[in-house]
């Protein structure tokens, strides 16, 4: 089995599919954030024995077979084991997790031990790659015949670089398309984290479709909007929107709605459950994280799985942010 370990400030595997699927390297899926590897909390340096879950998302348009997470240390005092050892297949859009148990030997010097975390797959094989350049991302965004998902992802990558082409495309997609792709573009605008989009996102709170209003609240929270922008929808007539408002406030650090969100995780509507779980998970609720993980990896509702996966992947950023506030 080919293996490649890659280390960054937040642990991310930077990979590109090799010859067997070389065509993938010509589109947005070539960018580092298309195969996402994130721990539930930062563990690139450890000082003691602990256990942590590492979430993996396959954003490639094809299945990846025989997937294994590798965790190693350059210090003999540190041992790491991964469960499961491998997965037979990771489907397009699928989210999964590995459990990493880190053991620091008794009597080892009290210091930070470096971990190397990477991802490997037997049938495809991975090669280290560079981040897709801005011109290539812009070209994909402009390609009208390209897959809409790829265009949204390319635009998000551009927006994260503060590129105006990315922002413009996401705003256009958020304004006119199917509710599914509109919601994806709305969340992408929030993840880009640029406060210049707040006015646009606030405007979406007037949408007739409750799913879009709820996603606008989530995006506002991700973009660090003032609490007043979120509180205005606490009395919305739509249960999903009200739940998103409470969850968004929880994501921004308000714990007053924890009990209401716990009750909402038992709602018969899967979208209400996921929104509530996201707010609770942002406060460190393990059961809520499990709910998101389960919702993102199972079920026939693809839109719900993608929604849950997006919510799950936003959590590590919130935890890093909390440490700096």
- Sequence-distant (6+) residues with CB within 8 A of 268 are none
* Beta strands at 35-39 and 50-58: parallel, antiparallel or unpaired: antiparallel
Taken as a whole, the chain contains a residue count of: 325
| Weakest-pLDDT range from 35-49, 130-144, 152-166, 288-302 | 35-49
In sequence order, what DSSP letters do the residues of 249-279 get, joined into one string?
Answer: HHHTT--TTHHHHHHHTT-S-HHHHHHHHHH
Identify the pLDDT of residue 42: 61
Q: Parse the chain into domains and list their residue ranges.
A: 4-127, 134-324
* Beta strands at 113-121 and 4-5: parallel, antiparallel or unpaired: antiparallel
Quickly name the fold that domain 4-127 has. Answer: Immunoglobulin-like (2.60.40)
pLDDT in tens, 89-147: 888 778 888 998 888 888 777 677 677 777 776 544 444 445 678 898 899 899 888 77
Q: Looking at the DSSP assignment, which residues form a beta bridge with residue 73?
A: 115
Q: Looking at the DSSP assignment, which residues form a beta bridge with residue 5?
A: 118
* Cα–Cα distance measured from residue 231 to residue 221, given in angstroms and rounded to the nearest whole number: 11
Same fold, 4-127 and 134-324: no
Identify the pLDDT of residue 121: 64
Of 41-55, 76-90, 185-199, 202-216, give the range with the top mean pLDDT: 202-216
**Domain 134-324 falls under CATH 1.25.10:** yes
- Mean pLDDT over residues 154-183, rounded? 92
pTM: 0.64
Identify the pLDDT of residue 113: 67
Three-state DSSP state, 17: strand
């Amino acid at each position: 089995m080919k293996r490649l370990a890659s280390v960054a400030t937040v642990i991310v595997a930077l990979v590109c599919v090799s010859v067997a699927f070389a065509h993938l390297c010509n589109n947005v899926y070539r960018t580092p954030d298309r195969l996402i590897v994130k721990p539930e909390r930062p563990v690139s340096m450890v000082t003691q024995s602990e256990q942590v879950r590492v979430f993996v998302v396959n954003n490639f348009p094809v299945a990846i077979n025989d997937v294994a997470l590798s965790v190693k240390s350059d210090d003999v005092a540190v041992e790491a084991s991964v469960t499961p050892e491998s997965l037979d297949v990771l489907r397009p859009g699928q989210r999964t997790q590995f459990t990493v148990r880190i053991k620091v030997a008794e009597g080892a010097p009290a210091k930070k031990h470096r971990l190397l975390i990477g991802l490997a797959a037997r049938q495809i094989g991975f090669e280290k790659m560079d981040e897709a350049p801005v011109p290539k991302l812009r070209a994909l965004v402009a390609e009208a015949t390209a897959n809409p998902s790829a265009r949204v992802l390319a635009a998000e990558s551009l927006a994260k670089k503060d590129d105006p082409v990315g922002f413009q495309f996401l705003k256009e997609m958020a304004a006119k398309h199917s509710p599914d792709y509109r919601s994806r573009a709305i969340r992408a605008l929030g993840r880009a984290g640029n406060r210049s989009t707040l006015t646009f996102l606030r405007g979406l709170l007037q949408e007739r479709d409750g799913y879009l209003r709820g996603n606008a609240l989530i995006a506002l929270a991700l973009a660090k909007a003032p609490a007043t922008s979120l509180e205005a929808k606490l009395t919305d007539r739509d249960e999903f929107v009200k739940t998103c408002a409470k969850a968004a406030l929880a994501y921004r650090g308000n714990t007053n709605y924890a009990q209401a969100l716990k009750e909402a995780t038992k709602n018969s509507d899967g979208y209400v459950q996921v929104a509530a779980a996201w707010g609770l998970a942002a406060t460190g609720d393990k059961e809520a994280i499990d709910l998101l993980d389960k919702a993102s990896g199972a079920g026939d509702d693809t839109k719900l799985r993608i929604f849950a996966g997006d919510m799950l992947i936003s959590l590590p950023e919130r935890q890093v942010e909390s440490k700096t506030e």
